[in-house]
Amino acid sequence: MANFWDSRFGGPEYVYGTEPNDLLREQASLLPLPGPILSLAEGEGRNAVFLASRGYRVTAMDSSAVGLGKARLLAAARGVEIETVHADLADFDLGIERWGGVVSIWCHLPSVLRADVHARIRRSMKPGGVFLLEHYHPRQIPYNTGGPKDPDLLVTLDELRAAFPGWVERHGFEGERVVHEGELHEGASFVTQWVAERPAGS
């Protein structure tokens, strides 16, 4: 899979653009400052660089070394610093109560791996930390405006709520919105958005 993403990110252009995801831009203030924040499947760095520009300490994790190289270039161009970690989510150690926030934008995983990653996120989040996610919903498939075609890779609010019992939902949405994030994410789309906080003392 890394070779696929290395190839996709191999050109000079930023495939999904250099501006942050809309949900992240709108809800970033819910992430505790200064973090630390872990951004999963960060790709070419647009979301991590945005957060760094807002004063967050950000770790950008991705399976593509090529994408992370472009992320470092974008950070340098914007005058901010990010940490980059080249790793596979299947065996990446998120730690225990390490993060003030975890960001997952278009990080589509098979359901078995996704359940394992969500369990690791629960353990890795500090009390009061926030998980912010936008993924494509199973109803996205006929839209043909981005995302995988395998429904096993797509996620619903019900699944997320079940995976994080007791967490406080700050924002939850599944429905249609227009996405403008490079040529591969363009047009009316059916998405799942979720922002939830690990309760202090849990």
- Tell me how many domains the chain contains: 1
**Band of residue 98 on the pLDDT scale cut at 50, 70, 90:** very high
For residue 182, what pLDDT band results from cuts at 50, 70 and 90? Answer: confident
Tens of pLDDT along 60-89? 999 999 999 999 999 999 999 999 999 999
Asked, for residue 80, whether it belongs to a domain, the answer is: yes
According to the model, what pLDDT value does residue 1 have?
Answer: 55
- For residue 119, being part of any structural domain is answered with yes
For residue 72, what are the domain limits?
A: 2-197
Average pLDDT over residues 10-32: 90
What's 147's domain CATH number? 3.40.50.150
Task: Write a three-state SS string for the chain.
Answer: CHHHHHHHCCCCCCCCCCCCCHHHHHHHHHCCCCCCEEEECCCCCHHHHHHHHCCCCEEEEECCHHHHHHHHHHHHHHCCCCEEEECCCCCCCCCCCCEEEEEEECCCCCHHHHHHHHHHHHHHEEEEEEEEEEEECHHHHHHCCCCCCCHHHCCCHHHHHHHCCCCEEEEEEEEEEEEEECCCEEEEEEEEEEEEECCCCC
pLDDT of residue 29 exceeding 90, the answer is yes
Query: Which pLDDT score, from 0 to 100, does residue 15 have?
Result: 78
Determine the pLDDT at residue 172. 98
Domain contains 23: yes
Would 202 be classed as within a structural domain? no
Average pLDDT score over the chain: 94
Question: Residue 67 domain-assigned?
Answer: yes
Say if 52 falls within a structural domain.
yes
pLDDT confidence of 2, banded at 50, 70, 90?
low
Note whether residue 176 is domain-resident: yes
Question: For residue 44, is it within any domain?
Answer: yes
